[in-house]
């Protein structure tokens, strides 16, 4: 069988099939498993990429029925039951009896793909390192700039979208400007950096319910974040963003560092299999799967996590992990001739988002936690779910440095990133191949 993707869905499906009588080929375009909920900490200099992105094949090395292949899947043929993957000139066709499609989602711009160079998202290690260079680099550029307006534009950070990722990024940027780097500069005062959080809806963290949202917004405002609700971004370019508010006002915000946390777009592989099977896709490219996560007419093909539109399930790790468990269970039941579960049902273990060090919001069942208690729950859960023991230990160390101390151990960005991200003059390092 074939699994596409090494995220929470793909990796956990493979692990769930450890004792099953199947040969698993896991294909992914990256060689690591990305612990996406902590990407914002790589972007803001707390964690290294290794701490949240261990090599997939290392995680699965003792699972002898699983092999891991690096490659970008271009084509899935549901009739022939083959997957074609490639890296450079290497092209490979892999047959399957069962397929688990868990290729995740990318940042979505609602049709405005031209925003991307000026407002990258945060879905991958590449993104996180790019944002790290842009955030720390913006202060470097501000320090150099003689023109006060230009300084202000470099020191204005716009985060579009106030879901957990947007809130966490905004919180981290304001904290690093107020704590980590406050004494590092001579011409600018980093504490004067503005962080503007733009949200199209009526609330920040709207999935947490109105009460939690209001409290979270109070906290964000108290930290110095400028929260703008009911605002849609009409344009993004190298001068900043244009925001249209619901009341008709239009505002241009001068900013040299815009981050897009407003939407996701499922992997285009979803649309591809939907077309072949007659399934629908929604506006975000997610596949309307059957109640058992399969494609219509194709009980051998499961779609997981961020790629599915089913019962308004959120795009969180738990949906992918529980979907992985469910589909692995069905595959095992078929192999063993046992009855299969008919429909996937999601058990909401709760959701949480950090707002600042020592503060978070968490909803667990009907329980609404806030502040330090919620943050402790966040700490506990994230340590628990980090994949390996060594990642747990080194992450705890880096958290101690950042949360108890003031510094951040992983601020480093490369020369190539400095040239590219800060000046829009990125050059390929290998001459003649760009």
Kindly tell me which of 318 and 395 has the beta carbon lying closer to a second copy. 395
The DSSP secondary structure of 358-424, one letter per residue, reads TEEEEEETTEEEEHHHHHHHHHHHHHHHSSSHHHHHHHHHHHIIIIISS--S-----HHHHHHHHHS
Kindly tell me which of 317 and 409 has the beta carbon lying closer to a second copy. 409
By three-state DSSP, how is residue 68 classified?
strand
Nearest approach in angstroms of CB 180 to a second copy is 8
Residues 171 and 167: their CA atoms lie apart, in Å, by: 6
Please count the other Cβ atoms lying within 10 Å of the Cβ belonging to residue 99. Answer: 25
Kindly tell me which of 95 and 428 has the beta carbon lying closer to a second copy. 428
Cross-strand bridge partners of residue 232: 244
CA distances from 342 to 10, 78, 142, 336, 423 (A): 21, 22, 58, 16, 54
Kindly tell me which of 215 and 382 has the beta carbon lying closer to a second copy. 382
Q: Which residues, 6+ apart, have CB-to-CB distance to 122 below 8 Å? A: 39, 40, 43, 107, 128, 131, 165, 169, 259, 261
DSSP E strand stretches across 39-104: 66-70, 72-77, 82-87, 90-95, 99-101
Residues 328 and 322: their CA atoms lie apart, in Å, by: 10
Q: By the 8 A CB rule, do 78 and 277 touch?
A: yes
Nearest approach in angstroms of CB 389 to a second copy is 9
Nearest approach in angstroms of CB 250 to a second copy is 27
Active-site residues: which are they?
168
By three-state DSSP, how is residue 61 classified?
coil
Kindly tell me which of 112 and 394 has the beta carbon lying closer to a second copy. 394
CA dihedral 59, 63, 66, 68 (to 10 degrees): 30
Kindly tell me which of 67 and 206 has the beta carbon lying closer to a second copy. 67
The order of strands in the sheet holding 351-356 is 351-356, 359-364, 367-370
Residues 356 and 379: their CA atoms lie apart, in Å, by: 12
């Amino acid at each position: 069988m074939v699994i596409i993707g090494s995220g929470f869905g793909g990796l956990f499906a493979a692990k769930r099939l450890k004792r099953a009588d199947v040969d698993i080929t896991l294909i992914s375009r990256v060689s690591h498993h990305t612990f996406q909920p902590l990407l914002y900490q790589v972007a803001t200099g707390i964690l290294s990429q290794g701490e949240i992105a261990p090599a997939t094949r290392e995680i699965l090395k003792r699972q002898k029925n699983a092999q891991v292949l690096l490659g970008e899947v271009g084509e899935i043929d549901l009739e022939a039951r083959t997957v074609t993957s490639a890296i450079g000139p290497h092209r490979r066709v892999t047959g399957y009896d069962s397929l688990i499609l868990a290729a995740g989602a990318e940042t979505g711009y609602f049709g405005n793909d031209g925003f991307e160079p000026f407002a990258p998202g945060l879905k991958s290690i590449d993104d996180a390192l790019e944002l790290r260079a842009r955030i720390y680099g913006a202060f470097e550029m501000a320090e150099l700039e003689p023109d006060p307006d230009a300084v202000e534009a470099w020191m204005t950070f716009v985060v579009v979208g106030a879901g957990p990722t947007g809130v966490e990024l905004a919180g981290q940027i304001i904290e690093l400007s107020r704590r980590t780097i406050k004494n590092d500069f001579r011409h600018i005062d980093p504490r004067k950096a503005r962080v503007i959080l733009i949200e199209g809806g009526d609330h920040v963290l709207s999935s947490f319910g109105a009460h939690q949202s209001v409290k979270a917004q109070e906290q964000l405002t108290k930290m110095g974040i400028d929260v703008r609700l009911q605002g849609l971004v009409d344009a993004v370019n190298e001068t900043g963003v244009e925001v249209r508010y619901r009341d008709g006002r239009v505002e241009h915000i001068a900013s040299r560092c815009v981050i897009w946390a407003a939407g996701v777009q499922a992997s285009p592989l979803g649309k591809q299999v939907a077309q072949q099977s007659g399934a629908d896709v929604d506006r975000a490219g997610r596949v309307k799967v059957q109640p058992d996560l399969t494609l219509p007419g194709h009980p051998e093909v499961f779609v997981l996590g961020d790629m599915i539109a089913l019962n308004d399930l959120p795009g969180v790790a738990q949906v992918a992990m529980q979907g992985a468990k469910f589909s692995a269970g069905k595959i095992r039941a078929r192999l063993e001739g046992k009855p299969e579960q008919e429909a996937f049902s999601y058990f909401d273990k709760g959701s949480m988002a950090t707002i600042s060090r020592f503060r978070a919001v968490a909803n667990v069942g009907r329980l609404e936690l806030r502040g330090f208690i919620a943050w402790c729950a966040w700490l506990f859960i994230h340590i628990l779910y980090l994949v390996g023991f060594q990642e747990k230990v080194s992450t705890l160390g880096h958290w101690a440095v950042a949360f108890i101390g003031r510094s951040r151990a992983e601020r480093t960005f490369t020369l190539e990133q400095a040239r590219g991200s800060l000046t829009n003059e990125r050059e390929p390092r290998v001459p003649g191949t760009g």
